[in-house]
Amino acid sequence: MMKHFRAAALLAAGVLTASAVGFAACQPQGQHGNRTSVTFYANYISSEVSALYNEMIDTYNRTQGAEDKDNVWVNKYVSTGEISTSNLISMFNQRQCNYNIVAVSNMQFKSLMVSLPNALVKLDDYLDDTAKERLDYDQIPETSVNMWRMNSTKDAEDGKYHAGIGTDLKGIPFGNNPQVLLYNEQIFSEDLGMNIISVAEEDLDAYNTANDTQLMPHGYAEYSADNTEIKAWADAAGLKTAKNRAGDTVYKVFNNRIAMNWEEIRNVARDYMALEGNAGRYGYMSSWWFSYGWSVGGDCVGWDDEEGQYVLSLGDKDPNLLALEDVTVNGRAYKQGEVLVYEDMKYVHAHESEFEGKFTELPSMFDTFVEFNRLGVPTDKVVTNEGGESGNETLKGYGVAKNTVDNHATEFTSGNSPMVVDYYSTVLLTYQNSSIRQYIDIAPTTQYREYEGGSVYEENGTEYLKVIGEDGYTGELETVKNSKGEDVPVTGMMYAAEEPNSSALCIPANSDPEKYEAAFKFISWAAGPEGQAIMMREGWRVPNQTNLGMSDGFQNTEDNPVGNVYAASLASMHTYMGDWSYFENGTWIDGWSEPLNGEVRRGEKTLDYFIDTYTNMANTALNVMTIRFRR
């Protein structure tokens, strides 16, 4: 809910067009023997990825598209940029168009569907067992598919178009481009003295057994070099020591396959800022707070069942909830350890007697946004006067992130910030030729994670991370026992926002109906493992299928511009569209996003002032939105 708000509003107004080529009329299709000939209108065909598109289509035409198989020939028409929303609407509003497959971005999808509800063919009827097998459909994360679901008629009960879970499928996702944490490996290793490892959380026990180590499930942790037991295994493992900010000699360990929690990322940022010569620099930078809000179940807006509309949820102080056992809430099934989405959290609070003992509490949406906002607010400015456990504690900023969303690429490449949130493909498309290219790697974005006894302490008003092996701190995850006596870790969900221009392959309803089936045959191949195996190369996208994304073939490709591809694959297992794509346009942010992203993020106004002043304005704007979505 940061910089992209304005872009969403401009797109809705029809003035934001990223297409580098003009809109083309429907193109005639060539004939190739007896095959059914279809045309694919692809977008964002930059020089870096054009060869992949050519190879994918050529491969299909030579193999699966052959007469004795699909009997389909694919022509392509490409745009080096995005097909503008207005051009899409024009295209789909013609009497007939011969583009049989069109790539639609998630930022355009809702606007298109409200403007022309029947513009796209419902794909559920074509998604039979054969198509699912070709797509390896069960390996495509449900959240990715749900971004492209929306009904063509309004719901009779609430008068809104329903989207997401349980609605009509209008597109098949064409790979993922999730947000990840970019970090400067040289700064982490040399300047901060970190030992960088790459061990997935589920592999940590096996790793410790195989290597005779005792590493704990942290994105970043410090281990005491004065603890003889730790020193024995750490020295044997070849870990180097360094002084931490408190002056202790420790083993600093950064695991780029486990997300840092809130405390870890702000303290790593402080460590960088405390280095000699770094006055005026910042340790972290992000335009987005999705990894914070979604980790505990919500965002800046949430559905209010009593009001029958979306409301601004930043001021909501009801605790978010983590399921201690498998449970169904408001018709939605949750597994043990999953976090409730906002509207279901509200349902539980309204019906607490039905769910006694089934949940443990997580930070509220208010507390979560306070935490995110404190990152960029200077230490001498107040974020809220209604914080803390008492609800009336004055909380000031951490001052560890630059409180602007501009030029984060420059800040990162210049060394002004060693950590920045960006999209996976930007390493290829933005940073490939930068002077620090060889030092850029990625890690998961921040996740809510609690550790036994808390992971920080204060001394003389300064916060430090607790050191594992000192004063009884073990670094073990906090757990809560459920009714069966099982220990459930207190960790939030790991969700990553999908790039606004990530696309799905769709079939225009005004194309030739006799070619719908042929078009879907190509879509199910291109979006399936064979097509994705081609498109995933060189770091442009993470493949649709989780097993393919986690495969050795993807993790170890030599032409990939990042080393720790695992972090992108992990993020892709739980991606969702950002708030720029929730509704049919961006007018719902007009009037209140500028003060939130400006005065509040700079610490010139408190969050309390903002909520008191702008909540009614935001709710009024949200009330006219015609879409209800469930991820």
Per-residue model confidence as pLDDT tens digits over 99-119: 999 999 999 999 999 999 999
Q: Per residue in 246-292, pLDDT tens? A: 999 999 999 999 999 999 999 999 999 999 999 989 999 988 999 99
Q: Per residue in 321-335, pLDDT tens? A: 999 999 999 999 999
Taking CA atoms, 291 is separated from 210, 294, 425, 545, in Å, by 32, 6, 18, 22
CA distance 565 to 241: 27
Closest Cα to residue 445, out of 287, 208, 252, 237?
287
C-alpha of 219 from chain center: 18
pLDDT at 23: 35
Within 10 angstroms of residue 535's Cβ, the number of other Cβ atoms is 21
Are the beta carbons of 16 and 87 closer than 8 angstroms? no
**Predicted confidence (pLDDT) at residue 555 exceeds the cutoff of 90:** no
Q: Is 600 helix (H, G, I), strand (E, B) or coil?
A: helix
Closest Cα to residue 12, out of 614, 595, 589?
589
**Percentage of the chain with pLDDT > 70?**
94
CA distance 522 to 63: 11
String of b and e for 546-559 (b: at least 16 CB within 10 Å)?
bebbbbeebeeeee
- Residues 193-213 have a mean pLDDT of 98
Within 10 angstroms of residue 471's Cβ, the number of other Cβ atoms is 9
Taking CA atoms, 409 is separated from 77, 418, 429, in Å, by 32, 11, 12
Taking CA atoms, 453 is separated from 32, 446, 466, 476, 489, in Å, by 69, 20, 10, 9, 14
Q: Which two structure tokens, joined as six digits, stand for 519?
A: 């078009």
**Predicted confidence (pLDDT) at residue 404 exceeds the cutoff of 90:** no
CA distance 469 to 474: 6
pLDDT at 231: 98
Q: Does domain 18-177+502-572 have CATH number 3.40.190.10?
A: yes
Q: Per residue in 596-608, pLDDT tens? A: 999 999 999 999 9
Q: Work out the pLDDT band at 359, boundaries 50, 70, 90.
A: very high
CA dihedral 610, 616, 621, 627 (to 10 degrees): 100
- Residues 163-190 have a mean pLDDT of 97
Residues pairing with 250 in the sheet: 224, 242
Q: Is the dihedral of CA 398, 399, 400, 405 positive or negative?
A: positive
Q: Per residue in 433-492, pLDDT tens? A: 899 999 999 999 999 999 999 999 999 999 999 999 999 999 999 999 999 999 999 999
DSSP 435-473: TTGGGEEEEPPP--B-BTT-SEEEETTEEEEPPBTSTT-
- Most confident range, picked from 87-96, 222-231, 394-403: 222-231
Q: Work out the pLDDT band at 409, boundaries 50, 70, 90.
A: confident
- Residues 554-560 have a mean pLDDT of 81
State the residue for tokens 């939130």: 596
| Domain regions of the chain by residue span | 18-177+502-572, 180-286+401-489, 290-367+584-630
